[in-house]
Structures are given as structure tokens and as C-alpha cells.
Amino acid sequence: MNKLTQYAQHFTKLELMKARLEVFQNESGREGVDFIIKTDTGNYHELYLQTVNLDKERSAKISKEELGEPKDNLWIALVLFMEDMEPVFHLIPSKVLLIPDDYIFFDNEQGERFKHLSNWEIKVFVRAIPELSKYSFANMLPQLV
């Protein structure tokens, strides 16, 4: 695990705790889930962590095999990094990936023979920021009920 991913894990955990959510590291062995959070109402949500270092890359690719089938309580915790800026935390419902807009969200299906290479992709670029900001952690927090 690289330093950026480690930092993203700590940052995400702290942000979730500041929002008064119970946070658990995934120790079930299930790939595709980094955190499990519990809300005040007793609901559980799974978070799959993805990072993008905007100084070096412009997208996050999420393996379909690793993530599994998108569902209501599965979220993409997307943490964006750029030098001299605070990290930016987005919480994207996994079901958004099922209907890609081919603007920010893409379905890179590779067919049955190369299914293991299939992925969803989230692109991050300047014109996409207003659309992507809908998924900022602050905006999505009320949906974690």
C-alpha cells in the first residue's frame, strides 16, 4: 500500500468520525470494501476507497471484480489530492456506476473473455467539478441514514 492510499485511509476515517459515524476497518476479507460505517439509525454502509493524485492522474479505475455488484449501501469514497491543497472527499453511490454518463462516469466493459479487465472509471477534470461536487461528503452525508 502506497503512502497516498494510507493517508487517504486515515483522512477518510477521520472525516467519518467527525461526522459522528461509527467506522470499522473491513476485516471480513471481502475485497472491494475498505470501511464499514454504522449510522445513528443502525444502518450499515460499505465504503470502497479510491484516490486520485491530480498532480499525476485524472481518473480512478475501479475493477468490477473487486468492487462487486453495485448496491444501495455500497459507496465509492473518492479522495482527491493536489499539492498544496487539502484533500477533497466525495461519497459516490455505487449505483451511479450502473448508468454511466460518459462524461464523468464510464463503463469500460471488456467482454466475457476479458471480464477480469472490466472496470468503471471516474474522470476528474475542471469542467466536471460542478457535477462532481454534488457528491461531496458534506452533500452526501444526509443520505447515509
Q: Which residue has the higher pLDDT, 138 or 26?
A: 138
What single letter denotes the amino acid at residue 68? G
C-alpha cell at 108: 469500460
Mean pLDDT, rounded, of the chain: 92
Region of poorest pLDDT, from 64-78, 112-126, 128-142: 112-126
The distance from CA 123 to its chain's CA centroid, rounded to whole angstroms, is 12
Q: What is the pLDDT of residue 29?
A: 57
pLDDT single digits (tens) 16-27: 999 999 999 877
Give Cβ neighbours of residue 124 (< 8 Å, ≥ 6 apart).
Answer: 52, 54, 58, 59, 60, 80, 104, 132
How many domains, in total, are found in the chain?
1
Report whether pLDDT(145) > 90. Answer: no
Residue 22 domain boundaries: 3-143
Give Cβ neighbours of residue 90 (< 8 Å, ≥ 6 apart).
Answer: 76, 77, 78, 79, 80, 132, 135, 136, 137, 140
CATH code for the domain in which residue 28 is found: 3.40.1350.10
pLDDT band at 31 (very low <50, low <70, confident <90, very high): low
